[in-house]
Amino acid sequence: MQAITPPTLSEQTSNSYTFPIIGDLDQMVNVIDMTALTLTLRDRNTGAIINNRQDQDVFQTNNVVVTTQTGPPLLTVATWLIQPADTPVVTPGTPYEIHDAIFRWYWDSGTRTQVHQMAFAIEHLWHLP
């Protein structure tokens, strides 16, 4: 099994991340059918919550936008505009650390849910030449 290397961001920088909103049986969920989208952002090593993002509502707010292209095929994606406050150093003294972003969305009047997790490395700037 090959290890997956997470994308690397420099500390205190902005970026963006886009992922598909997929429901049951690998079918897209239309944005008009969604009832909620939450984000939890934490440091993997310490479990510390970053930027107050613990089950934070991010459905069309808090730097996340969800869009649907009706196609065919239907394509729904969420785009998170990562802010400098989302990429802090939590554990000084190491060259990098891993942060996890956990997105959970609900649809069908909130009775159905799916989750997407992404990991990214935060590079501590004092290690750059």
Q: Which of 32, 84, 85 is nearest to 59 (CA)?
A: 32
Query: Cβ of 37: how many Cβ atoms within 10 Å?
Result: 23
Domains of the chain: 8-127 (2.60.40)
Q: Which residues, 6 or more positions from 60, have their beta carbon under 8 angstroms from its beta carbon?
A: 66
- Predicted structure pTM score: 0.92
Tell me the β-bridge partners of 9: 122
57 and 110 Cβ atoms separated by less than 8 Å: no
Q: What is the pLDDT of residue 94?
A: 87
76 and 67 Cβ atoms separated by less than 8 Å: yes
Low-confidence ranges of the chain (pLDDT < 70): 1-5, 127-129
Q: What is the pLDDT of residue 5?
A: 67
Q: What is the pLDDT of residue 63?
A: 98
